[in-house]
Structure formats: structure tokens, C-alpha cells
Structure 1
């Protein structure tokens, strides 16, 4: 599978100069905004916003709307991508939901939350909520039991011979499958 790199550059931009995407469907309540302000105050920006250049100039946000709204005068890191309208909407639709599909290793999560110190009540509430939310548990992949079987592969010169061998083996009571490689 060929995967294209759509990031053209990392640019530092005043957050208030970024245009919100007109179809941004995510909403952000007061608790989320307060927790974000706490993380930004205690840590700062540790990830880039995602935007694309639009006709007439300027950058249109695809991800990072709340961060931009929260710190409009800050110079923020922005990954600039070369997406068209349809592609930008596809990323807008899937970026957060894909991340939300991840499971959680509850033991590791609990240990990490216990080690994290904060002075913010909003951030503490967010962290405590992580350990009580209905987050799917991490389930390590299980080995698949493959029953023991004995098989013979017969290489044939062509399809008619394959058909002939198949019919002969079936007539002798063998369970057969036809495969072409």
C-alpha cells in the first residue's frame, strides 16, 4: 500500500489568524476548555494544530479549533497539509473518532494517573475520570488454534488436468479444494 505524506510544512502562526473550518462538527464544553487551559498552562503546546491553505490566502483549521480559540494571541505550531475540500472534510470527520477507538490498558493508565501531579482541579477531574470512564480494556491478541490437518498439494500442468485430478480424488472420498496460485 502506498501512503502519501500530505504534510507540506510546519509553520508557526498566530492562533487567532487561523480560520475555523466551516463544517467543524466538534463542540467543546466548559470542562474540556478548562482542562485544556490547565494543560497549556502546566505543559504548553506539545502538539501541532492541523490546517490547510485556502484560496485567497490564509490557513483553515482541520484539527485544533479549541486550542486556537483558547490562545488566540499565541504563536502556535501548525502542520500545513495539501488537502482538497473533500479530503479535509474526511480528516475533519475521522481524526478524533479514530483516536477515540483506542482501548486502554487500565493498569498502566492507573499507574500513569497516580504519578501525574497537577495544581488544577479541572485537570485532576479529567485524569480521575480517565480511570472510571467506560474505556475498552486492552485485549492482547489471542493465538488462534489451528486444528492439525494433513494435506497434499498437487501441481497440475493446466486447468483441465486440475479438474481431472480433483474429480478423481473426490470420487475416492477425499475432501478437496481447488486453488489457483
Structure 2
């Protein structure tokens, strides 16, 4: 979801009461992922969500841990940071993580907020990590998007 699209969605205070979500973040590129992680956890807790959180080594590990967490939680937020290098590794990791998280969400029928940054350079990651003056806060954005999706799914179920 774009920052503009997310700005159009308002989550009322307490919107997450009674919900349990997980935030799972890669430790690779910790300067960035620590911030994404902390902002996702804070955003959910501010909305009343019970949050469990874990760290994994890298972005490739996110889908399998997210799948396990979704067995007992309403949604997951997955954060990571993949910065392009000089080899094709970037392309394989980005595709693997994106496809994996999508599959996990569809298999579980539950939202996975994708807070994995796939950027050309370190500065782009910083600009999207929620530092003061940053253009985006992808950790918090992914958390709010996942929570909003939980609420939409509940509304769909309630309407039959």
C-alpha cells in the first residue's frame, strides 16, 4: 500500500483490541531493520493489539517463521532490508521473500504486512525507515496495513 493510500485509511484508537499479531524482522541490516521492527511494534500497541515479536537472521527466513506465527495469531508483519549489490543475489532474495510472504498469507488466509525494503542503496533504506524527516515509515505502515486487513476480513465474515 502506498503512503498516500494508507493515509486515506483511519484506524480508530483501540481498533486492535482483542487481536494478537506478530512482528518478525530480519537482523540483517540491523540499523534499518531495528527501526522498522520497533516502529511496527509501537504502532500496533498504540492501537491496542497484543504483539509478540521475533528476530530472524535474514529476509529469506521471514516466510517460514511468519507461517508458523500465523497458526496462532491474527496477522503478521514481516520486516527486512535488502540492498542491491553487485550480483544477482538481490533479485533472488527479493523474489523469494515476496513470493514466500504472499504464499504464507494466501495459505493461512490471514494478512502478512510486508515491511521488507528492497532498495538500490543504503540511503533509500534510511529514507523509508521512519527516521526523523524520512519520507516513509514502512515498519509502521506495514503494521497498520496488516491490522486494517484483519478488520476488513472480519467485516467480510460478519456480513456473510
The structure whose residues are more often strand, as a share, is 2
The structure whose residues are more often helix, as a share, is 2
Higher RCO (C-alpha under 8 Å, 6+ residues apart):
2
Q: Look at both structures and tell me which one has the larger radius of gyration over its CA atoms.
A: 1
TM-score of the aligned structures, taking structure 1 as reference length: 0.24
TM-score of the aligned structures, taking structure 2 as reference length: 0.26
